[in-house]
Structure 1
């Protein structure tokens, strides 16, 4: 696996030494260039927790992925660049007010002068590292903070348009990519998974986010969203032109 090819994939550089500024730039660029997507899940193409196959998909084939792929490979990159980074497990809080299957989301904890939550594989979320000390961080998608809810247990909270809710609950216990095998299988085959029903492709933009969900295209700019229905040809064109994905 070639570090420079991976960095070039999302227009990043390895020139700087590890710092919070560089970490923030890496996360922002990754999330605006490499989409979160479940296209392989819907097409029943198996996803394996193997960094070489993930690298091939994301870097060489210009694809995105879901959390295990995106955060798994980004975690590897951070370690290669000299960061003290660990994979961690999280439980997603769904919009319906119910918790998803426990510890089936993979995120990253990076130790700088203090620990930061880093996540390039959640979809609609922050493009910034979030400190675990409770300090709020604001980007175009909302204001985010981490709240401790138990020993080594924290919630990622988002406040947007006056609505405050957790996105997920995570533990600081270190994980290996292989530890997510059960979750990776569940999210590929279970009808209870968010990702087994319709295509979802999304990435951050400077003004907000753009998302293809099934045959709808939603663009969010500065908090305002517009959704447009798509034909198959229109959907294929958007995936190719705006996301760089050709299936």
Structure 2
């Protein structure tokens, strides 16, 4: 990623370049990303194929000011962090489903950033941590996103289980991967009727007070822990994407796309 792209990406996030690649800069970048770039699956419901080509990701997220899901958001952030001097590794995770059973490998993409110690960085899991989490820390870690635990998973593979407010989030592998390794599962997530991403359009973003989410036609606003919901009519949907998420669309995402 060249200097012009770094500058434009940071402008998209509304933050300055860190003076050096340290943990404080990492914290600032993660929270800025969460508050500026929505977690969304709208491409699936607009009939747009999702590409993990880095130029395509940059065009979508930075130039067209859209969001994406984990492979897109964390995939492009890894490029920015690397360009800023951070040492970044792509990790695969298995998201826990009903009954506490982890799903398939490559179900999720998260980042390991090595500084004085290893950190978990994740801007692609929706309602999750506001800050990087210590991968080697076994005590509870609290921030504006909630309370988190990173612990060793059962077995002798060295995998790590990440929990959020007591609920299982995902099982993280420790071996490194390339972005291309996630392409098959990214395709499955956007095409399979068994994927939860194909069920309905979702757009969600962290706010200073909580979180704003538009799930199909339901607008969910959480402010200081208080949640309100409102069903939008068809005329309100495109303005809602624009006003709440900064996303300008020419048509309404549909589960039938």
TM over 0.5: yes
| Cα displacement (A) at 1:233 | 1.8
C-alpha separation in 2, matches of 1:51 and 1:16: 25
Question: Is the contact made by 1:27 and 1:118 (CA closer than 8 Å) also made in structure 2?
Answer: yes
Query: 2:211 aligns to what SS in structure 1?
Result: strand
Q: Which residue of 220, 229, 241 maps to 1:239? A: 241
1:23-172 counterparts in 2 under 5 A?
23-94=26-97, 97-132=100-135, 133-149=137-153, 150-159=156-165, 164-172=166-174
Quote the RMSD (CA, aligned, Å).
1.3
Give the match for residue 254 of structure 2. none
Task: Tell me which residue corresponds to 1:230.
Answer: 232
1:206 equivalent in structure 2: 208
Q: In 1, are the aligned partners of 2:221 and 2:228 still within 8 Å (CA)?
A: yes
Provide the C-alpha distance between the structure 2 equivalents of 1:129 and 1:86, rounded to a whole number of angstroms. Answer: 14
- Cα distance in 2 for partners of 1:148, 1:206 equals 32
Equivalent-residue separation in structure 1 for 2:46 and 2:101 (angstroms): 27
Distance 1:144 1:15 in 2: 26
In structure 2, C-alpha distance between the alignment counterparts of 1:109 and 1:79, rounded to whole Å: 11
- Look up the match of 2:223: 221
Measured at CA, do residues 15 and 142 of structure 1 come closer, stay the same or move farther in structure 2, by a change above 3 Å? closer
For 2:61 and 2:98, the matched residues in 1 are separated by 28
Query: Number of paired residues?
Result: 243
1:15 and 1:208 map into 2 onto residues whose CA distance is 25
Q: How big is the shift at 1:114?
A: 0.9
Tell me the CA shift for residue 169 of structure 1.
Answer: 0.5
Task: Work out which of the residue numbers 190, 195, 198 in structure 2 matches 1:196.
Answer: 198
Report if the CA contact (8 A) 2:102-2:171 is conserved: no
Question: What per-residue deviation string (whole Å, max 9, x for no partner) do you get for residues 37-92 of structure 1?
Answer: 00001222111110000000000001001111100000000000000111100011
Q: 1:43 to 1:170 in 2, by over 3 A?
A: same
| Cα distance in structure 1, aligned partners of 2:103 and 2:117 | 29
Say which SS state the counterpart of residue 90 (structure 1) adopts. strand
Question: What SS does the aligned partner of 1:195 have?
Answer: helix
Deviation at 1:96, TM superposition (A): 5.9
* Preserved CA contact (<8 Å) 2:39 2:68: yes
- Alpha-carbon distance change, 9 to 168 in structure 1, aligned in 2, over 3 angstroms: same
Q: Which has the higher strand share?
A: 1
After TM superposition, the score normalised by the length of structure 1 is 0.94
What runs of 5+ residues in structure 1 fail to find an aligned partner? none
